[in-house]
């Protein structure tokens, strides 16, 4: 399936069950909702740098690009 627009919701940051730093958020589209988790300090740093925010909670409600295939959602990045 082609790319779709999603909205970022419910952002959190911590260790969760991963045993290492992670950022997680829900992505909602018109028909799907899925959790996206970014683990590891380097990936988190790259994500925050790419998003150009000083507080990850500022991403709440931001539009993003996603791909849904066979009911599985994949976060592709923010819409810029």
Q: For the chain, which domains are there?
A: 3-78 (2.40.50)
| Complete edge-to-edge strand list for the sheet that includes strand 3-14 | 33-39, 22-28, 3-14, 63-69, 72-78
Please, which residues have CB within 8 angstroms of residue 72's CB and are 6 or more apart in sequence? Answer: 34
CA distance 16 to 24: 9
pLDDT of residue 30: 92
User: Is residue 1 very low, low, confident or very high in pLDDT (cuts 50, 70, 90)?
Assistant: low
pLDDT in tens, 4-58: 999 999 999 998 776 789 999 999 999 999 999 999 999 999 999 998 888 999 9
Strand ranges for 1-80 from DSSP E: 3-14, 22-28, 33-39, 63-69, 72-78
């Amino acid at each position: 399936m082609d790319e779709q627009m999603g909205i970022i919701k419910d952002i959190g940051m911590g260790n969760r069950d991963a045993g290492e730093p992670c950022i997680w958020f829900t992505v909602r589209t018109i028909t799907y909702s899925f959790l996206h988790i970014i683990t590891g300090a380097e990936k988190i740093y790259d994500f925050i740098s790419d998003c150009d925010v000083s507080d990850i909670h500022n991403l709440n409600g931001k539009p993003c690009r996603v791909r849904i295939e066979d009911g599985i959602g994949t976060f592709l990045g923010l819409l810029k």
